[in-house]
Amino acid sequence: MGAINKEKALHLITLFSGAVKGVSFYPAAHPAIRQPLMELYNLLSAALIAETKLSWGVIDGLIFFDDHIFSNPSTAIADLTNRMVEKEISRIVVTSSLRFEEMETFVKLFSVKGTRFEALARQMADSKITGLTILRHGAENFDPESEELEIGDDHREMYGRAVTALRTVCREIERGRIPGSAQVVQVVDQMVEIISREPLALLGLAMIRDYDNYTFTHSINVGVLAMSLGAVLGLDSRALRDLGIAGQLHDIGKTMVPKTILNKPGKLSSTEFDEMKLHPELGSKIIKEMEGLAPHLSSIVLGHHLHYNRSGYPEWANKLPFDQLMDIIAVADTYDAMTTLRVYQHPINPKKALDHMKTMTNTILDGAVVARFVEMMGTYPVGTLVRLDTNEVAIVYRPNPSNVDAPLVRILFEESGKRLRAPREQALVEPDGTCYARIVAVVDPLLKNIEIGQWLANGNQ
């Protein structure tokens, strides 16, 4: 790409954002709208003489125009970013066939707040816009003829978008800015839709581990576990949404804690621990300032280390009223922390983690919530590597509510010890009662050189 330099790219994006915002205040024929729109169209048309297409969009929370990325956005660009995220658009592509009337119509459609990708794509098709295309985050062009958009076919990709959203929030905080919530909310809404239909569908995602990005993956895993548990407890979609957002943002206050403390391999000094204990309060304050988030989410974040018997921190908050959502987040947080390798701690396997959590009931954790969590995870929780009485080695990828001792597994190693080229899904007990095999032992994944998360999100490596 060489037709447009960075200065001109910035000007084009600003013109587009200004036209979109202006439509809300003036009719399309008003000079305040038509003039910048005409200038935008003429500049794009001139550039498209040398290029077959041009595009702009959002990547990792930042606006780009072709190969130019803008890391310090103006107010106009920040507004455009939020609109694109709200509409789930990753890229807007224009070609040399674009007509001015198409650009004008698209700006009108794009300016309407609350319109999501599917609706906008259909409106564009109805308006016969062909010289301009929108692409969805993590998907190819939307097909308006399809009856239903499949959300979450690629769960790992959705997880990646969640990491990107959380990383963007943290980056904004570190720069001293109040972060937006749109990206986080968008991903959580997709997760809620999946979990509302099938509570255990995303449990495999919660075993994804990225040790170099622990803060991000841990927080997303807590959100997934909390939403799944909330669904099992019968909570409505609004509560599941709150759990997902609070789970993903529960440790956001750690962005304000020195990294030397966060990454210290040994035991923290009393002074360092006191500073670490401030992160729930810091996170609560950040969430109160973020637009688009319900006020009570800050309370959930504030209390996630307070403990069921209120012996935790912050001590000053132990008399405040908290609802069950806080206790659900605490259970999910405890489980993921126990099963993850950190600089100061070796992980324990999922089964041992559940056993240990039972000893924490009615003191640190709510006993009733833990009981449902253990029931949800089963005797052999998702992510447990097991040896069968056939001598095959498998990974548990789905609980079996009708038989907690016989979860659904993916066989990774044959009875001879040879690793399969692709995992084979297997029910240990068939619906008619036929038994394929029984679990005889839990296997340490390190001994088999297995990265658990690889085998759970989509069923393959």
pLDDT tens sequence for the chain (461 residues): 456 788 888 889 888 888 888 777 766 667 767 788 889 899 998 888 888 788 888 865 678 887 777 766 677 777 888 888 888 888 899 988 889 999 999 988 998 888 888 889 889 988 889 889 998 765 433 332 332 323 334 677 788 888 888 988 998 998 889 898 888 999 999 999 999 988 888 888 887 766 556 678 889 999 999 999 999 999 999 999 999 999 999 999 999 999 888 877 778 899 999 999 999 999 999 999 998 898 899 999 999 999 999 999 999 999 998 999 999 999 999 999 888 765 555 678 888 899 999 999 999 999 999 999 999 998 888 888 899 999 999 999 888 878 888 999 999 999 888 888 888 999 999 888 899 999 988 887 777 777 676 666 544 44
Contact 284, 301 (CB under 8 A): yes
Digit-coded pLDDT (tens) for 113-159: 888 888 898 899 888 898 899 987 654 333 323 323 233 346 777 88
Which residues make up the CATH 1.10.3210.10 domain(s) of the chain? Answer: 155-377
SS3 call for 246: helix
Q: How far apart are CA 371 and CA 87, in angstroms?
A: 39
pLDDT at 71: 60
393 has which bridge partners?
A: 387, 413
**At 157, phi and psi to the nearest 5?**
-65, -40
For residue 14, CA distances in Å to 79, 84, 385, 391, 425 come to: 10, 14, 53, 63, 51
On average, the pLDDT of the chain sits at: 84
Decide which of 3.40.718.10, 1.10.3210.10, 2.60.40.1220, 3.40.50.720 is the CATH code for 155-377: 1.10.3210.10
Residue 328: which of 408, 223, 420, 417 has the closest Cα? 223
Q: Rounded to 10 degrees, what is the CA torsion of 63, 67, 72, 73?
A: -40
Q: Identify whether 314 is preceded by a cis peptide bond (ω within 30 of 0).
A: yes
Q: What's this model's pTM, rounded to 2 decimal places?
A: 0.64
197 CB-near residues (< 8 Å, 6+ apart): none
Mutual angle of helices 324-338 and 350-358, in 10-degree steps? 130
Which one, of 197, 187, 295, 291, lies nearest residue 237 by Cα? Answer: 197
Instruction: Give the helix/strand (H/E) hosting 167.
Output: helix 155-174
By C-alpha distance, which of 383, 395, 393 is closest to 350?
383
SS3 for 432?
coil
